[in-house]
Chain A
């Protein structure tokens, strides 16, 4: 008798607690993103949504090195952690085909949200799947691109300017092409400035996730690398991925690394590059544009001491690696209505303007094309220049299977110095062909 009473009491308590938790959860909305400065700005921005709709928002921010692993596992396991996810642009193919994201076309039509209001490259990069078709799985949320910062204060020193001119025959300044970028990096390599040894450039070289791929593509694109024949992208890789231009691009990146990268920078990505630049170790820094507000505000290198420029052109044109993300509604959400309400709220022009003001990077044209935007911050013009030349990596469902061999092949050649650029890219073609065959695309 005692035992049965105890069981009943336990069951009642459990039911009450579970019910209470459930009731609380129904009113909540969880947004998942990477743990970085813009995420903090989004928390502040979202307070407006909470006030307007009386919705409690919670946030799940994962550090960048674990972000892809954590979130892709969450999606693949049909987890219920996230109602909204600001996911990387390359995930969109997999998330769309596996039914992890909600298709937003009908919702956009119903609410009058037009993709024409956003920078075209961000719509293609962050929202569309299949690419180039009007099928939208996200709203462009954070516009980002790889660009460069440089130590303007060093570049403007008379003695360095004179020495550079004498050595290379042209003025030290923002490089007009990738060749000049390499000259500048080599010029600063191992140089003594203010009693401290400094180096040329902080490049993306990271091996474990996507780092070196996000870096090397800025050279490959500009030398003629293509992901495949645009008419037959999965069927014809030979001669595009490993074209003579692509080989020259890969050789250029290795030369740049050998001639101008800081010692010990064999596994550097966003964080390491920021640290190297802010601590005055390097003259040039390759990094995503999201870091620029932080650099500008930095007491050591900020303000007039730093300049910004888009990835310089190469022999085959001027391109830059796209970063950034779109915001998607997770198909498995229990709070579909609130999640959609958030998308609608976030798509408003005034919210987008506020987003940029608070430290975000809106992809809405009314914000970035507004009069005075280009001059408002010292890096805005470089941001606009960069966003106009973006290209992105594969966004196929098999994106990770395509990324990992590229990381391996490129790192083996550029950092470990094994084999030739031609061998690395030939190997990459073989790897990618195998992936597409496995996927039944060839």
Chain B
């Protein structure tokens, strides 16, 4: 055996197969390779999507053996006029905005600090990324203990710094604090992810640019705003996109932490949708709900990706 790998593969191909392949055009071979992926995509993504849209116009219940009726846009009307749906949309918007805000702010700050050369740099990076390696369900579970008014470490820390009695407030039971309790936990868990993306962005900026800025006597402050931020911006925007999509479908952590309560204050849309689909078994209604969420996320993500591309082109 000699020659390059392509020749060796060609020589090793059984004559019968080689004969068949030899007769195929480049386009046919391309389809041969791409075909299975397209079939798989149609089967597991496109078909379910079309089927969901179809079900969204029915009163179908997956657990009931009865005739399915087409009810037009009634499911959509009920969802869009249901106060509970809007409450969960509001809870989701609050969660999304503040988690992304804090994660980007803290994540970028950490990345900026870690990017400075100092002793123990790698060790600190490893320690910081530990939370994101945990399972969200586990994180939700143990934060319920950290938030316990009598024994929780979080409450003790607050008491230590503020003097407020630790047993006088309940992070997950108080209507004003509960929405923030899930923001804090998600920020604790996923800030390292944003930090890593930002770190990649910061390390991609060549030192020579800063050296040139130094020669031009640009201050550190000016370097930060005119070099660091613009050059790291595509990475920051990518982090926002990832976290936005992830948090829009947030489920496990919040269910473990608050169960959607108190009342329905932390019932995010994903929790609401799951209850409609797999507890109430209102499959048609839940399908319409899923379509509305899909259109919302898809629309927002499309606009965002266009903006991201524009920033990258600059």
Contacts and interface: CB of A to CB of B under 8 A. Distances in A.
Interface stretch (A215-223, A299-307, A414-422): A414-422
A25 B279 CA distance: 31
Contacts of B223: none
Contacts of A98: 63-65
B262 A415 contact: yes
Contacts of A412: 262-264
B259 A267 contact: yes
B262 A76 contact: no
Contacts of A94: 63
Given A76-B281, A94-B63, A404-B279, A263 B262 contact: no
A197 interface: yes
A206 B144 CA distance: 13
Interface in A190-208: 197, 206-208
Contact of A401 (B144, B174, B255, B280): B280
B175 A418 contact: yes
22 contacts: A69-B278, A76-B281, A94-B63, A98-B64, A197-B167, A207-B261, A207-B262, A262-B150, A264-B147, A264-B167, A264-B170, A265-B173, A267-B144, A267-B262, A400-B281, A404-B275, A408-B263, A411-B261, A411-B264, A412-B264, A415-B263, A418-B175
B281 A408 contact: no
A262 B64 CA distance: 42
B92 interface: no
Contacts of B147: 264
Contacts of A418: 175, 263
Given A69-B279, A76-B62, A264-B147, A408 B264 contact: yes
Contacts of A197: 150, 167
Given A69-B279, A408-B84, A264 B150 contact: yes
Contacts of A264: 147-150, 152, 167, 170, 172-173
A236 B94 CA distance: 39
Contact of B259 (A69, A207, A398): A207
Nearest to B174: A266
Contacts of B65: 98-99
A400 B280 contact: yes
Contact of A208 (B63, B259, B265, B280): B259
A400 B173 contact: no
Interface range, B side:
35 or more
A54 interface: no
B167 A263 contact: yes
A416 B261 contact: yes
Given A266-B261, A267-B173, 7 more contacts: A72-B63, A98-B63, A262-B150, A264-B173, A401-B280, A411-B262, A416-B261
Nearest to A266: B173
Contacts of A73: 278
A231 B63 CA distance: 28
A175 interface: no
A413 B147 CA distance: 22
Closest 8 CB pairs of A and B: A266-B173, A208-B259, A416-B263, A207-B261, A412-B263, A207-B259, A264-B149, A263-B149
B243 interface: no
A207 to B, nearest CB: 3
Contacts, number: 95
B258 interface: yes
A80 B112 CA distance: 55
Interface string B22-66: 000000000000000000000000000000000000010011110
Interface string A260-276: 00111111000000000
A418 B263 CA distance: 8
Contacts of A209: 259
A206 to B, nearest CB: 6
Nearest to B84: A408
A6 B37 CA distance: 28
B142 to A, nearest CB: 15
B201 interface: no
Contacts of A52: none
Interface string A387-423: 0000000000110110010001001110111100000
Contacts of A408: 84, 263-264, 267
A418 B174 CA distance: 12
Interface string B63-104: 111000000000000000000100000000000000000000
A263 B165 CA distance: 12
Interface string B216-244: 00000000000000000000000000000
B82 to A, nearest CB: 10
Given A266-B172, A404-B279, A411 B263 contact: yes
A89 interface: no
B64 A207 contact: no
A438 interface: yes
Interface string B259-273: 111111101000000
Nearest to A99: B65
A281 interface: yes
Contacts of A69: 278-279
Contact of B59 (A262, A415, A438): A438
Interface string B160-189: 000000011010111100000000000000
A398 B275 CA distance: 13
A256 B275 CA distance: 29
Interface centre among B152, B174, B280 (most CB of A within 10 A): B280
Contacts of B170: 263-264, 266
B261 A267 contact: yes
A404 B88 CA distance: 15
Contacts of A417: 175
Contacts of B279: 69, 400, 404
A259 to B, nearest CB: 15
A252 B267 CA distance: 26
A320 to B, nearest CB: 24
Interface centre among B59, B263, B281 (most CB of A within 10 A): B263
Nearest to B144: A267
B285 to A, nearest CB: 9
A197 B165 CA distance: 13
A281 B261 contact: no
Contacts of A400: 279-281
Contacts of B172: 264, 266-267
A437 to B, nearest CB: 11
A391 B150 CA distance: 35
A264 B155 CA distance: 11
Interface string A68-88: 010011001000000000000
Interface in A340-357: none
Contacts of A76: 62-63, 281
B64 A263 contact: no
